[in-house]
A = this chain, B = another copy of it.
């Protein structure tokens, strides 16, 4: 616990603004998070192929884990008995747990959704489960992450208005119940921060309604923006983010869930969002795609065969300090496990460093110029991935 008496857990300090873009500091039970920040995804209590030391060394300050996955396996009560998720996975800085809303609606076979909760079948073994907002609070309390998300209904990105509206209303009802259960479980100990998840698909007025309803409930340390980057056109996502941003309080953290390709991150930061997560850097890493400032590169490309230079010139990551393009290519061509680690670390460093650069540019009041220059070097080629 590295929190001083004067900065309560959950406080978001806004340090600098540059137009809508923000640089801030989020105070949590296991430390501070400098924003903008990208969170590596450790779905099952491990960021795939990477150790906690490596995460720390690449500059990650907070990782995400999934309540849904850990509830199913190994079970949240087991994690609690073993001292909570920090001890279990050996990561002693901040953790955020996703509530499982997105996972229940994307991975599991849904049997029935009611206002009471969701009957679903496990994607692992088909076992039947009934999940409620209260159960999600119990799971996340047992896991003991620093930031926990309320259970939400996450409709598809191109949902009809009626579906989106129903999700807003239902998500709000669930939020009221989450708050009650959270307060019972935490007994005001102040170690965990609960954030609501705003829904409303691509309808700006529904997004505002979701915000208004949540805002009336209590004061929050911030807001999660859910239900984006789930199949809707990018322009619509940016539009929603632009409309919502001025309505969000400045003194709360803004977590845009599931976004993590470089250009999306920069646009979201420009629009005033602070923290992000996505499997893109690790999944791309395992698939042999390296993030570089000139765009993504398939590491098996023939040009790398004999290339003794770094994956990215001047890159400060563990992988680039040790390995040439030729060696990384060899690892992937030969199907070697070390390649998965080397590229996952590189890609996570790339995004973490991108957010560090963004933060510095915001603090210096040169964010827009910096983004323009950065994008001019960067040659698209991205594909969708949550």
- A interface, CB within 8 angstroms of B: 44-46, 48-52, 69, 73-74, 78, 81-83, 88-90, 305-306, 308, 322-324, 326-327, 329-331, 333-334, 336-338, 340-341
Q: List 26 A-B contacts (CB under 8 A).
A: A44-B330, A44-B334, A45-B327, A46-B338, A48-B337, A49-B337, A49-B341, A50-B338, A51-B338, A52-B322, A73-B330, A73-B333, A73-B334, A74-B326, A74-B329, A74-B333, A74-B334, A78-B305, A81-B306, A81-B308, A82-B324, A82-B326, A83-B308, A88-B324, A88-B326, A341-B341
A29 CA to B316 CA, complexed, in Å: 30
Nearest chain-B residue to A88 (Cβ)?
Answer: B327
Q: Is the CB of B341 within 8 A of A305?
A: no
Most buried by B among A45, A336, A338, A341: A338
Q: Is the CB of B48 within 8 A of A336?
A: yes
Distance from A285 Cβ to chain B, minimum over Cβ atoms (Å): 11
Q: Is the CB of A326 within 8 A of B48?
A: no
Nearest chain-B residue to A322 (Cβ)?
Answer: B90
Known: A49-B337, A49-B338. A323 touches B90 (CB 8 A): yes
Q: Is the CB of A305 within 8 A of B338?
A: no
Distance from A83 Cβ to chain B, minimum over Cβ atoms (Å): 8
In the complex, besides A49-B338, A74-B305, A82-B308, 19 extra interface pairs with C-beta distance below 8 angstroms are A44-B334, A44-B336, A45-B327, A45-B330, A50-B338, A51-B322, A51-B338, A51-B341, A52-B322, A73-B333, A74-B329, A74-B333, A78-B306, A82-B327, A88-B330, A89-B327, A90-B322, A337-B337, A341-B341
Known: A74-B330, A305-B74. A336 touches B82 (CB 8 A): no
Q: Is the CB of B48 within 8 A of A338?
A: yes
Distance from A159 Cβ to chain B, minimum over Cβ atoms (Å): 31
Neighbouring B residues of A330 by C-beta, 8 Å? 44-45, 73-74, 88
Neighbouring B residues of A45 by C-beta, 8 Å? 327, 330
A74 CA to B45 CA, complexed, in Å: 35
A48 CA to B306 CA, complexed, in Å: 22
Distance from A142 Cβ to chain B, minimum over Cβ atoms (Å): 14
Neighbouring B residues of A73 by C-beta, 8 Å? 330, 333-334
Nearest chain-B residue to A321 (Cβ)?
Answer: B90
In the A-B complex, the 8 residue pairs with the smallest Cβ-Cβ separation, listed nearest first, are: A49-B337, A74-B330, A90-B322, A44-B334, A46-B338, A46-B336, A82-B308, A48-B337
